[in-house]
Amino acid sequence: SGENVYLISASPLPDDTAVLCFEDQSRQEESEMMRRDFVANISHELRTPLTSLMGFIETLRGPARGDVDAHDRFLTIMEQEAQRMNRMVSDLLSLSRVEVDERIRPRDRIDLASVLRSVIATLEGKLSDADITVAAADLEQEFSILGDRDQLTQLFLNLIENAIKYGGAGKTIHVGIQRLSRDQPLRQPAIQVEIRDEGEGIDEMHLPRLTERFYRVDDHRSRDQGGTGLGLAIVKHIVNRHRGRLEIKSDQGVGSRFSVFFPAGP
Ligand code: ADP
């Protein structure tokens, strides 16, 4: 039915018969198109901070030469832009690493509660700067899965950092973990980890696209927060690699809930 189906060979056989061989190339073309889009997006995303850096360098050399106050202000902005480019490159590397790994299922026995404990400890400074409290479930029990510790750490860091960025000062982030005797979509016993914030929430129309690379609900807000637009794309690939699933629910004005379900471990 598609216009991308090609006849790739035709071989005549004796007795008035022939073999015709067709190949559907629509998937290959789609992935080639996605690759081209991705490269175009990266170039655009990196060019934005670069253009701003070049603009400031010009101003410092020209009109702002000798203006000490302006120097300080501009250098601070330039430092932030350079840090954002640095984060972008790190996120791109993480994304490509996870994509390469995706077919190989991780085999280490990992306690998710201990990963959550260390992620929360790592974020202590950011949490207190943002005046945000974490209310965590009992993380002393063991909740084991077969996983990759570094990637699981990255997954929860991304989700909790988002809850900090978009959660709002003075609010609470709720971290929950529980065992399910059976998760219907995964069709097996599972462990559910839930990160819930009390932020503005996300309009339902955006939910299906949130895990696309560089997709942001509010471009300015994400950039102001130093976001790269890659965090949830990385989360999705890590979840896939662990054969789990991600569920995002959000109520505008109430908050967002990111739940990850993993097949329960041995
Ligand atoms: P970013 O670097 O922009 O935060 P992500 O891939 O982590 O990129 O998230 C994509 C977009 O999803 C964000 O730009 C933001 O608009 C939205 N988002 C993610 N987490 C939350 C949250 N907890 N509350 C509200 N919006 C969120």
Q: Give ipTM to 2 decimals.
A: 0.98
Contact between 115 and 152 under an 8 Å Cβ cutoff? The reply is yes
pLDDT score recorded for residue 134: 97
Residue 262 alpha carbon to ligand 1 centre in Å: 22
pLDDT digit string (tens) for 224-262?
Answer: 888 899 999 999 999 999 999 999 999 999 999 999 999
Q: 205-221 burial string, b = 16+ CB within 10 Å, else e?
A: eeeeebbebbbbeeeee
**Average pLDDT of 111-134?**
97
* Amino acid sitting at position 192: Q
Q: How far apart are CA 27 and CA 40, in angstroms?
A: 20
- Ligand 1 atom nearest residue 255's Cα: 24
pLDDT score recorded for residue 1: 47
Residue 124 has pLDDT above 60, yes or no: yes
Which of 45, 203, 210, 215 for a ligand 1 pocket mutation test, highest count of atoms within 8 Å of Cβ? 210
What residue ranges line ligand 1, CB within 6 angstroms? 158, 162-163, 165-166, 197, 199, 202, 210, 215-218, 222, 227-233, 256
pLDDT score recorded for residue 2: 53
Residue 169 has pLDDT above 60, yes or no: yes
Q: Name the pLDDT band for 9 (thresholds 50, 70, 90).
A: confident
Which of 205, 216, 249 for a ligand 1 pocket mutation test, highest count of atoms within 8 Å of Cβ? 216
pLDDT score recorded for residue 159: 98
pLDDT more than 70, % of the chain: 98
